[in-house]
Structures are given as C-alpha cells and as structure tokens.
Homo-oligomer: A and B are copies of this chain.
Amino acid sequence: MPDKLETHTHGLDVAKTPASRRSGRRPGESQSRDAILRAARELFSEQGFSGTTIRAIARRAGVDPALVYYFFPNKDGVWSAVIEDVIGPLDVLGPALKEGRDNLAERLVAAYLTPWEGEHGETLVAISRSTMAKGAEHPISLLTDPGRLARTIGGTGAQLRASLILSQLHGVAVQRYVFRMEPLASVSVDRVSRWLAPSLRVLIEPNEP
C-alpha cells in the first residue's frame, strides 16, 4: 500500500514539473486537463462528490464534457485525480520523519495541521467529507502511512503506537477543520501543538505501558 502510493505520488510530481510538461503531453492537453481538475476541485469543495456532475465540471472548465471523458474514465477517476493533485504532493509525514525523534511530536502536529490552514484547506475538508461518505479508505490517512512512522519511533508495539498517533492527529484535524469543534477550532496551531505534543510524546516513546 505505501509503496503503491509513493509510486503514485512520485509519478504525479514528475508529471507536474514544468520540465516534464515540456517533454510530455502537448501544452494544450495539459492546460485542458489542469482546467478540468481545477474546476472539479472547486465543485467537489462547494457541492461534495455526489452533488457534482461531469457536465458541471466541463461547464466550469469551459470545455466539452467529451474532453473530460478523454482524460478520465468517469467521475470517480476525476475524484482520484483531484485527491492526488491536492494530497499527493503534500507528503505530510516525510519531512517530519527525516529529522528523527527529537521534537518529533511538535513536527508531526505542524506537518499534519498546516496543510489544512493553507490554500487547499477547503479542498481537504471536502475530501474528508466525501471520502468518508463514499466508504473509501481515507486518502489522507493512507498518505500518512503508519509503517514509516513506526520505523522512526521503533520499540514495542511500534505499528500500533504509530497508528494511534496518526488517529489522534486525524481526529484533531477533523474536529478542528471539518466539525469546527470549539475551542479547538479557534486557537492557533501553535497552541494546539503545545498541548498536543506532550500527549503524542507518550506514544512516541517506546515504553511498554
């Protein structure tokens, strides 16, 4: 699963660099595809997955619906491409894990929450909502692969501790950004981190409970 996703992500990164655009598809094609994905991202954010049609995506992108089907097999295909477009390049855990275990808790909180604060925040909320509804596996948690975190923290029950850490981060993100639970929704990321990091640290430390 992680391997597949990482390949995916890398493929996407490559496809999105200006260099590969020049050497890959014709510029017109990739501009149309980008316009379709941008329109889809906006519509999924505004109206959710089930409220969005291929026709509406085409209309907003200013293209014929047939062109949407030229790039994507169906609405699920557009959806997956939007998710990869937004979440793929984030690689939430990678940079946080690279620096090892010192202050790992603080880096995890920042790495996990910061993307929700930025330009793609609304899309992440929409993705959370729609993925939950669709019954699919959660793409955000898939990208925050417990395996990599487990290897960094090590020790007894590392896999379980890693999945508990990611569950907690996920729960905090959902309650803060999707359900806007107060007072969690209104305090700064920094303040969340100050309270949350010591709690995560208990799971980062490899002590049998």
Contacts and interface: CB of A to CB of B under 8 A. Distances in A.
A74 to B, nearest CB: 18
A46 to B, nearest CB: 11
Say what secondary structure dominates the interface of chain A.
Answer: helix
B181 A209 contact: no
A141 B171 CA distance: 11
Counted per complex, copies of this chain come to 2
Interface in A100-122: none
Contact of A133 (B48, B146, B171): B48
Interface stretch (A7-15, A87-95, A188-196): A188-196
Contacts of A170: 171, 174-175
Interface in A159-206: 159-161, 163-164, 166-172, 174-176, 178-179, 181-184, 187, 191-192, 194-203
Q: Interface size class for chain A?
A: 35 or more
A167 B175 contact: yes
Interface stretch (A22-30, A33-41, A59-67, A124-132): A124-132
A132 B178 contact: yes
Interface of A: 48, 50, 128-130, 132-133, 135, 137-138, 141, 146, 157, 159-161, 163-164, 166-172, 174-176, 178-179, 181-184, 187, 191-192, 194-203, 209
